[in-house]
Amino acid sequence: YSQHVKNTGVTCYTCHMGKPLPNGLWFYSSQTDYLRHYLDRDGARVISQTVAPASVNRSSVKQTEWTYALMISQSRSLGVNCTYCHNSRQFSSWREAPPQRVTAYHGILMLRDVNQNYLAPLQPVYPAVRLGAMGDAPKAQCVTCHNGAYKPLYGAQMTKDFPALWGRADWNGAPFPGIMTMAADTTKRDSTVATPVAAPAQRTSAKTAPAAPVGMN
Ligand code: HEC
Ligand code: HEC
Ligand code: HEC
């Protein structure tokens, strides 16, 4: 995922933003068919590569409409227009496109992994009320993280203070020298276990507080 989220990363807040259900969840329906590009369909590339009419391009009008619907939704998800990722002289050209297009492509691949391997397989554990009309689990799309900004939360560093979220021990602090120092400090504190006693005591006293106010059941 680092090809897309770079060193900025994401936390629960990127998608959830203080709410139990994030924005832009989608389910199967004929209106959202194009979003299956983020799940189990490929084939957004519809522009002919030849000048004269030839039988090499088999894209249908419907496929072309899916591509444009997908592109309009990507633009709206990021609050940008087509030229943020394309040279409008030749929409299909990667060489002439701004680098953001490659980042966006890695975003598509990331979403496929998230949707195929993490969100869709949760289907059997959701209560029926959380499933779509066709019985599928909620899935994410670009707006789920981006919320209308070219970078989620306008590029605020999310994982800097949570190195464990990178999921790779050898990544801990690598892009952030400050965190390397913190990790080293922790080891030092472990070897001189003598002082830190106050915090656990506080937690115990919190447990003895009244369990729940009347009427909270
Ligand atoms: C890529 C976006 C994304 C990120 C990041 C993310 N979530 Fe979620 N989360 C979702 C989606 C999509 C759902 C499904 C919503 C639904 O049930 O309709 C969900 C649902 C949940 C639910 C169930 C809510 C409910 O009421 O059913 C919990 C709990 C939850 N997430 C916790 C977390 C935690 C904790 C983290 C961070 C460790 C996290 N999420 C990070 C997208 C995300
Ligand atoms: C956030 C970046 C981004 C934005 C904004 C964006 N695109 Fe795209 N576009 C892409 C990527 C990435 C692909 C390649 C998708 C794939 O192959 O899975 C693509 C593919 C296309 C294609 C297919 C090209 C081909 O080879 O056939 C067309 C047409 C297109 N975009 C048009 C548009 C239009 C029109 C807009 C504005 C409404 C737009 N795009 C906005 C990133 C973007
Ligand atoms: C899991 C959350 C998440 C999802 C889903 C996601 N992105 Fe991103 N995206 C990010 C983060 C974080 C960054 C910031 C990376 C950085 O700092 O360069 C980013 C950066 C980008 C950028 C680079 C912007 C720039 O100006 O450099 C583009 C373009 C982009 N995303 C497009 C997309 C598209 C298109 C999708 C849907 C196919 C998508 N993203 C889905 C988290 C996400």
Nearest-angstrom CA–CA distance, 101 and 134:
33
108 lines ligand 3 (CB under 6 A): yes
Structure confidence at residue 106 (pLDDT)? 97
Residue 175 has pLDDT above 90, yes or no: no
- 57-72, pLDDT tens digit by residue? 888 999 999 999 999 9
Closest CA to 11 of 111, 152, 147, 107: 152
DSSP-derived 3-state class of residue 114: helix
Predicted local distance difference test score (pLDDT) of residue 55? 81
Question: Which run of H or of E encompasses 186?
Answer: helix 177-191
* pTM listed for this prediction: 0.84
DSSP letters, 124-162, are: GGS-GGGS-TTSPPPB--HHHHHTTSSSGGGG---STT-
Q: How far does residue 99's CA lie from ligand 2's centre (Å)?
A: 13
Pocket test for ligand 3, best of 5, 10, 80, 116 (most atoms within 8 A of CB): 5
At 120 the pLDDT is 96
Mean per-residue pLDDT for 75-100? 96
Q: How confident is the model at residue 76 (pLDDT cuts 50, 70, 90)?
A: very high
Out of 34, 72, 83, 85, mutate this one to test ligand 2's pocket (max ligand atoms within 8 Å of CB): namely 85
- Residue 15 CA to ligand 2 center (angstroms) comes to 23
Is pLDDT of 214 > 50? no
- Split at pLDDT 50, 70, 90, the class of 172 is low
pLDDT: which is higher, 172 or 156: 156
Most confident of 28-32, 113-117, 171-175: 113-117
Across 24-29, average pLDDT: 94
**123-158 pLDDT, tens per residue?**
999 999 999 999 999 999 999 999 999 999 999 999
The answer on pLDDT for 183 being more than 50 is: no
User: Residue 18 — very low, low, confident or very high, per pLDDT cuts 50/70/90?
Assistant: very high
Mean per-residue pLDDT of the chain: 81
Q: What is the mean pLDDT of residues 28-54?
A: 89
Domains of the chain, start order: 2-158 (1.10.468.10), 171-206 (no CATH)
Task: Please report which confidence band the pLDDT of residue 213 belongs to, taking 50, 70 and 90 as the band edges.
Answer: very low
Distances in whole angstroms, Cα of residue 58 to Cα of each of 41, 92, 94, 123: 16, 16, 21, 35
Dist CA 169 CA 172 (whole Å): 5
Measured CA to CA, the distance from residue 99 to residue 119 in angstroms comes to: 29
Mutating to test ligand 1, I would choose from 15, 23, 77, 125 the residue with most ligand atoms within 8 A of its C-beta, which is: 15
Name which residue leads in pLDDT, 121 or 159. Answer: 121
Q: Would you say the CB of residue 72 lies under 6 angstroms from ligand 2? A: yes
**Residue 26 pairs with which residues in a beta bridge?**
139
What contacts 173, CB < 8 A, 6 or more positions away? 163, 179, 180, 181, 182, 183
